[in-house]
């Protein structure tokens, strides 16, 4: 029996190492592909913007299609990286620290300022007047949660829409963060499945073709590991608000 257990442990260790190698290969390869696609994107854009001379109507149409196809490819590679990263994030060891969530929110919003502006969406942080206590959190993993929620809000908002990010202290020693959009919302049929791995609503797929359906699943796992909870409020066609809590830091 001891020998069998030892063999199982050795096989498990081998599979863990194999999975780590696979994950690294996927990550390196995807990053290289995305870099090449990004370079191609700006070359095509130079032609479309007229920087390299005037185009005929037919040339512009063909290059516009090439640009859109390249954008879809960049999106696909980004999703591959997200899935690869999300699985790693959930499984990796957590390092809980005394964390200022306001700083984390401001930094994350700044990262999305270009994308939101390009889509004609206003991304607003309703910074609280009152002092917000620090929380017990793994900074990088909470950042992943914020990235997932803000990215979804941008994806599923309409042009000229607004996204509001807010934070407040609850009475039960938790800090609550919310991300509110005015986008497509979530149907009643989808509400019970929204945190399932790889699940995407029909409306989400029509609004944004690219997507893995792993962001909310990952966010839920991360927040629950912190001892908090994540939920949402939504009416179909009237946007959605995603909320999560993180415990207050106690020295």
User: What average pLDDT score do residues 32-47 get?
Assistant: 78
pLDDT at 66: 86
Identify whether residues 119 and 49 lie together within a single domain: no
Identify whether residues 179 and 121 lie together within a single domain: yes
> What's the domain count of the chain?
2
Domain of 237, CATH number, reads 3.30.565.10
Identify whether residues 53 and 174 lie together within a single domain: no
Identify whether residues 82 and 121 lie together within a single domain: no
Write out the residue range of the structural domain in which residue 185 sits.
Answer: 97-247
- From 91, 121, 139, the end of a domain falls on 91
Identify whether residues 103 and 204 lie together within a single domain: yes
Identify whether residues 159 and 240 lie together within a single domain: yes
> Which is more confident, 36 or 133?
133
Identify whether residues 220 and 152 lie together within a single domain: yes
Identify whether residues 75 and 156 lie together within a single domain: no
| Six token digits for residue 67 | 């640009």
Identify whether residues 168 and 58 lie together within a single domain: no
What CA–CA distances, in Å, run from 196 to 18, 61, 177, 216?
27, 40, 21, 8
| Six token digits for residue 143 | 């950042």
Identify whether residues 123 and 197 lie together within a single domain: yes
Q: Which of 28-32, 165-169, 208-212 has the lowest mean pLDDT?
A: 208-212
Please indicate, yes or no, whether the overall pTM of this predicted structure exceeds 0.75.
Answer: no
> Which is more confident, 237 or 87?
237
pLDDT at 209: 45
- Cα dihedral sign, 14-18-24-28: positive
Identify whether residues 143 and 220 lie together within a single domain: yes
């Amino acid at each position: 029996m001891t020998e069998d257990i030892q063999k199982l442990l050795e096989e498990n260790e081998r599979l863990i190492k194999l999975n780590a190698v696979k994950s690294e290969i996927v990550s390196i390869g995807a990053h290289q592909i995305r870099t090449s696609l990004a370079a191609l994107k700006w070359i095509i854009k130079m032609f479309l913007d007229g920087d390299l001379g005037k185009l005929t109507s037919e040339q512009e149409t063909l290059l516009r299609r090439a640009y859109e196809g390249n954008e879809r490819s960049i999106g696909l590679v980004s999703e591959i990286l997200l899935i690869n990263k999300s699985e790693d994030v959930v499984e990796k060891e957590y390092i809980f620290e005394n964390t200022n969530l306001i700083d984390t929110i401001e930094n994350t919003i700044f990262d999305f300022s270009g994308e939101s502006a390009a889509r004609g969406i206003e991304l607003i942080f309703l910074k609280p007047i009152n002092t917000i206590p620090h929380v017990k959190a793994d900074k990088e993993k909470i950042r992943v949660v914020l990235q997932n929620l803000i990215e979804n809000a941008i994806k599923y908002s309409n042009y000229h829409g607004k996204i509001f990010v807010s934070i407040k202290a609850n009475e039960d020693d938790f800090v609550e963060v919310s991300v509110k959009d005015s986008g497509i919302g979530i149907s009643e049929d989808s509400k019970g499945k929204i945190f399932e791995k790889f699940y995407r609503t029909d409306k989400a797929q029509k609004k944004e073709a690219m997507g893995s359906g792993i962001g909310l699943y990952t966010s839920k796992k991360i927040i629950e590991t912190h001892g908090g909870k994540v939920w949402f409020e939504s009416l179909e066609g009237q946007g959605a608000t995603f909320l999560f809590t993180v415990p207050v830091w106690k020295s």
